[in-house]
Amino acid sequence: MSEERVIAGTDTGRLLVFESGDLRWEMNVTSKSSHEVDSSHRQETEASVEQPVLPPSMPRVTAITPYSKGFVCSAGPGTVFLFEKTEEKDSYRKTREIKIPPDVYSIEPSQAQLQEITTLCISPSEEGLSACTDQGQLYSITLASAEISKSELAHFEFLSQPFHSKAITGLSVCIRKPLIATCSLDHSVRIWNYEDNVLELYKEFQEEAYSVALHPSGLFILVGFTDKLRLMNLLIDDIRTFKELTVRGCRECAFSHGGHMFAAANGNVIHIYSTTTFDNLLNLKGHNGKVRAVVWSADDSRLVSCGMDGAVYEWNTLTSKRESESVLKSCSYNSVAISSDGKNVFAVGTDNTLKEIQGCQVMREMGAEDMMYTAVTMTRSGRTIFTGTSTGTIRAIKYPIPTQKEWTEYQAHSSAITKMLITFDDQFLLTVSQDGCLFVWKIIDKEGRGLKRDKDVSYAEEILITKSDLEEKNQIMTELKTRVEELKMENEYQLRLKDMNYNDKIKELSEKFIHEIEALKTKNQVLKTDMEKQYLSHHEVLAEVNEKFAKEQQDFESTSNQKLMLEYEKYHELQLKSQRMQEDYEQQLQAMEHSKFEALEELTLSYEAKQQDKQLALTQCQEEACQQLREFEEAKKQIEEDGDHEIQSIRIRYEKMLRDERETNQCLKGETGIMKKKFSSLQREIDDRRSEINKHKMELQKQQGVIRSLEKDIHTLKKEIEERDETIQDKEKRIFELKKKNQELEKFKYVLDYKIKELKKQIEPRENDIQEMKQQIQEMETELDKFHKKNTQLELSSNEMKLKLKATDKELHKELRRAKDLESLVLRFKREVHHCVNFIQEPNKLKESIRELHERFVQQSDVGGIVGVDADIEREYSRQREHLERNVASLKKKLAKDGDVHRAEHNKIMMENVSLIREINDLRRELRMLRSQLHDYECQVVTYKRGKPKSLTDSKSRTSFDSAAGCLIPRLNLDEESERIIQMQSKEIQQLRQEIQSQSLALRPPTNSTKLPALAT
């Protein structure tokens, strides 16, 4: 307020005025109106929800600014108070309350009133007040209008237009209109006009918007939300959805320059849709990380994308194939741009460099020193590249990119730039950032002039409006027209009636005024006559008074002269008396001095005698005083002793009382500490409850919004259920009809089964025909294999031709570059020659300038060296190429021979394998025969034992058993040997099969998909 006076505000809503360090005035900013509003709101909430509601928290004073009449301060969310000085010295009076109005376009309009005001500012002329909130909004109000409407509640207005309150995630422009589209994490999509600097459309949604794209016509907009990708119409006063696509969390989307297609990034896949049919035309797969940027070429034939996997791919939008790629896994790319001719691609990422990519190679790089590039764009003229950094600065870099780090830097945003674009006429640069700001930059050259436009752009003025809105507006217009006509008729009728009434009143008033004028005239005449009479009477009285005054004056002068003469005589007599008196007094003084001297001598003698007497009395008095002092000291001692005894008794009594008081005080202190803790805990609980209530209110509002959206979904689902019930009924009817048909078909089946039995009898001769056809098919397959081999050879030759074509393309590009360099050299030479022509009249200077030209441009050794080097390179290239072609031909021949040899070996192995399998089968049959014979012999032995007596049986059994054992032992040995042989042969067969498989894999001819490695040129 001044050098000595300071005003401070607290977080509990108190205002404190200090002057020279002393508190002079204190006040609480809570107003009656706010209390009334809170109480009414509380009553409404109690009526709607039967739950106890805690009182609102105290408003915080977050901003104060002074002005001539007093000061302005914030008082809680969305409220500002005006205070003015009173007649008292150190006090202020609250005069006005100003609030932030609710946002009509928001989903929750009351949220705007809860903004915290961070700064306040008054204009130098003190006509306007501006306020800034914590959500980045600017409001203003004229103080004159606020003072006029003191009885009503004043409201702020937007200073220009509402801004984004959170980070901007999407930015797009169109061709046919000067429009900018932005989307933000504050759930809003806004359409700006960069020529008029006006916010044209604004809409909030339930979900966060991640990406936005404007159609080139400026009539449609594509917005990527968390759940879907929505295509919407830009109407005259609304943004309305007409198509939804199931692309979740679309971070990047872009329309083609023709507007017939649009691309949308879904994680690491790019979908391309048709704008007219909404069909998914292409799916571009290749990125391993999320796609961060998508850019169309000028002719819409190619698409360039970059991602977090460090890859920059160039796609063909007709064939969905990759034409070129550049992968750097150590870098995560943030943004990409393409030149107007489509040859060069510019990319920026986390490695703090700007890269120029041509084909599959990085041609140039430029470092960013200690900051990261987050966005890049290029003018359509191809002269300048603009980059955005993580600190919010913008850098303008000339193209071609210089070898040294040269750029022009501009400070813009307070945080990282998210998107950058240049308008299609190269006049404006648009930047958005995480700080929620949109900047529009005018692009000018060094001399301060704007860039020249190729054509005068005439923007379209068409707007979209739905048929229902148009009909409603036409109906409203017709109703308003009829209403205007009715009002005109009523007004004319009322005017006529008023004219009649006013004419009558005018006549009455004119008559009244005429009568009053006449009465006033008569009164005026009477008053004039009275005035004349009074004037005459006053004149006579005045003459008499003047005569009396003259007489009295003469008498007074005569009497005063006589009195003066008498006084003068008296003065003379008194003067004589005073002289006489002075003489008498001098004589008396001399006599008095003589008498006094005599009396003085007598008095000195008498006083000396008295002094001696007094000295004697004084000594006596001193002795008496000493005795009295002794008595006084004794009495004093006794009194002190008595006082000490009394003081000790009083001290003991009061010490007891003090101890009791201290004990009670300590108890009270403990109780107060406990009460303070309880109070602080209760206060914390109250604050927590208040915060919880606020959170619950916010959640309730969100849940209400969710409930509304769910009700809409329920309504749509009910409709779908009704439709599906109808379809189910139709399908049930269809099923009934199909059952009838099924019964009829079963009847046909019985008939057909009989026919099938008859046909099976006729199949046997046809099976023979089928076997013959199979043999023909095998022959055809052998021919097909031959054709496949020829096809592979042709593919190899076509690949060789493609490689040759690529080499010739590279040579052509080199020649074109060389031609461009020669053209620039010729232009420079022409300039120098033109400069030399100025010296045509001066031969010496002309000679020197021509010599300089010769030294500068004509260097025979360099030219000859370059020509020789080029010729040697071409010869070496052709020689290496012929050598490689010969090697390839010889390798092909060797491959064919090796294939034939391996096929012959394969056939041999197969034949051997077949013979071995036959032998194994024969051995297995013999083994089975031997086992059956052995079983028969064992059975005979058992029966023989049972039929004979024991003695005979023992002897005979021994002999028979010995003989049987003698014949069986060699057979059992043969069985064991045969099993061993079979196991060994099976192992060998397995080894041979493994070798055949490995050789068949090695000799397998290359398929259509596999290709030989490219020849290194």
pLDDT digits (tens, 9 = 90+) for 970-1012: 444 555 666 677 777 777 777 777 777 776 565 454 444 434 3
Residue 416, phi-psi category: left (phi > 0), alpha (psi -120 to 50), beta (remainder): beta
Lowest average pLDDT, out of 649-663, 748-762, 955-969, 982-996, goes to 955-969
Measuring CA to CA, how many Å separate 482 from each of 244, 472, 487, 488, 489? 42, 15, 9, 10, 11
Phi, psi of 612 (to 5 degrees): -65, -40
Written as one letter, the residue type at 118 is T
- 884-898 per-position pLDDT tens digit: 888 888 888 888 888
Give the C-alpha separation, 222 to 594, whole Å. 138
* HSE-CB of 44 using CA atoms within 13 angstroms: 6
The reported pLDDT for the residue numbered 152 is 64
Q: Residue 216's pLDDT is what?
A: 94
pLDDT (tens digit per residue) in 644-699: 888 888 888 888 888 888 888 888 888 888 888 888 888 888 888 888 898 888 88
Q: What is the edge-to-edge ordering of all strands in the sheet holding 428-433?
A: 417-422, 428-433, 438-442
Rounded to the nearest 5°, which phi and psi values hold at 460? -75, 145
Calpha distance 927→919 (Å, rounded): 12
Range in 103-107, 364-368, 949-953 the model is least confident about: 949-953
What type of residue is 193?
N
Residues 831-879: pLDDT tens digits? Answer: 888 888 887 778 888 888 888 888 877 765 454 445 555 677 778 878 8
In whole angstroms, what is the distance from residue 249 CA to residue 691 CA?
32
Which tokens is 110 given? 């009351």
Whether 42 shows a pLDDT value over 60: the answer reads: no
Q: Which residue has the tokens 């003025």?
A: 461
What is the mean predicted confidence (pLDDT) over 395-406?
A: 87
Q: Report pLDDT for 948.
A: 47
pLDDT at 1015: 37
CA distance 195 to 165: 23
The listed range with the strongest mean pLDDT (25-39, 220-234, 588-602, 621-635) is 220-234
Is pLDDT larger for residue 243 or for residue 619?
243
Residue-level pLDDT at 356:
93
Q: Indicate if the pLDDT at residue 41 is higher than 70.
A: no
Q: How confident is the model at residue 957 (pLDDT cuts 50, 70, 90)?
A: very low
For residue 230, name the pLDDT band (cuts at 50, 70, 90): very high
Q: Calculate mean pLDDT across residues 914-941.
A: 79
> What region, left, alpha or beta, does residue 76 occupy, with left being phi > 0 and alpha being psi -120 to 50 degrees?
left
Task: Encode 656-718 in three state secondary structure.
Answer: HHHHHHHHHHHHHHHHHHHHHHHHHHHHHHHHHHHHHHHHHHHHHHHHHHHHHHHHHHHHHHH
Strands 229-234 and 220-225 turn out to be antiparallel
Q: Which two tokens stand for residue 286?
A: 């290749």
% of the chain residues with pLDDT over 70: 88
Q: Which residue has the higher pLDDT, 1013 or 343?
A: 343
287: CB partners within 8 A, 6+ apart? 268, 269, 270, 305, 307, 309, 311, 313
Beta strand segments in 551-657, E: none
The continuous run of DSSP H or E covering 456 comes out as none
Q: Count of CB atoms within 10 A of residue 240's CB? A: 13
pLDDT category at 148 given cuts 50, 70, 90 is: low
347-368 confidence digits (pLDDT tens): 999 988 999 998 888 888 888 8
DSSP result, 189-220: EEEEETTTTEEEEEEE-SS-EEEEEE-TTSSE
Query: Is residue 464 very low, low, confident or very high in pLDDT (cuts 50, 70, 90)?
Result: confident
User: Would strands 373-378 and 361-367 be described as parallel, antiparallel, or unpaired?
Assistant: unpaired
474-499 pLDDT per residue, tens: 999 999 999 999 999 999 998 989 88
Burial (CB < 10 A; 0-12, 13-18, 19+), residue 58, is middle
Q: State the pLDDT confidence band at 145, using cuts at 50, 70 and 90.
A: low
CA dihedral 887, 891, 893, 895 (to 10 degrees): 180
What is the end-to-end Cα distance of the chain in Å, rounded?
82
pLDDT at 417: 94
CA distance 375 to 169: 12
Residues 58, 12: contact at Cβ < 8 Å? yes
The reply to whether omega before 400 is within 30° of 0 (cis) is yes
141: nearest Cα among 129, 158, 151, 123: 129
Tell me what the pLDDT averaged over the chain comes to.
Answer: 82
Bridge pairing between strands 179-184 and 209-214: unpaired
Of 424, 410, 466, the C-alpha closest to 180 is: 424
Question: Taking the model in full, what pTM does it have?
Answer: 0.48
Q: How far apart are CA 831 and CA 825, in angstroms?
A: 10
The pLDDT of residue 173 is 95
Residue type, 800: E
> pLDDT digits over 504-549, tens only?
989 889 888 998 888 898 988 898 888 888 888 888 888 888 888 8
Percentage of the chain modeled with pLDDT above 90: 21
Which of 273, 279, 313, 274 is CA-nearest to residue 293? Answer: 313
